Amino acid sequence: MGLKDLVSKAEQLTEAATGAAEKLVDEFNEALPTMSALGFTVKDLKVGMGLMPEIDAKLVASAGAVDPKKIKELMDKNPDNKTLAAALKALLAAYHLKQMVGSIPFKGVELDMKLGIPPHVGIGFVSVAPAEPAEAASAGPVQV
């Protein structure tokens, strides 16, 4: 394989990675208003580019502000956004587990989303309420 072939393959991989990153960002941006409606704000956002791009986002909310009934409603209203569906399913499962250990007074909930291949959603309950959202957290869509 010659140098031209290697350069061509590298360009194709770059185009594919850019397209995948754009799709991840689009789904993430579509999910943000729904997560905001549940009381979540974006605490941290990281973007990684490599052979496979990934986006890591941490969203936080007050544990008492998130209503499991509303989560279920939003799941039913948004079945096509896979990113949002995964986050809502994980959140609902976490709230069911939280009810089972109801004696622990959690004040905040953190949702860690890793959008990539494979995607991953982690939910954590914390004893400290999240800080007030900064202006940057509500600044609008993410762009790559």
How crowded is residue 37: how many other Cβ atoms within 10 Å of its Cβ? Answer: 10
**Residues 6+ positions from 144 with CB-CB distance below 8 Å:** 18, 21, 22, 25, 47, 53
Q: Calculate the dihedral angle through the C-alpha atoms of 74, 79, 83, 85, rounding to the nearest 10 degrees.
A: 50
Q: Contact 29/142 with Cβ under 8 angstroms? A: yes
CB 107 within 8 A of CB 93: no
Report the 10 Å Cβ neighbour count for 75: 17
Q: Read off the pTM.
A: 0.72
Tens-level pLDDT at each residue, the chain (144 residues):
677 776 677 666 666 666 666 777 788 888 899 899 889 999 998 988 777 778 899 999 998 888 888 998 988 888 888 888 889 999 999 988 888 877 778 889 999 999 877 788 999 988 887 876 544 444 456 555
Locus of tokens 């490599």: 50
Q: For position 57, what pLDDT does the model report?
A: 92
- Amino acid in the structure at residue 94: A
Residue carrying structure tokens 């986006």: 55
Per the structure block, which two tokens stand in for 134? 């900064």
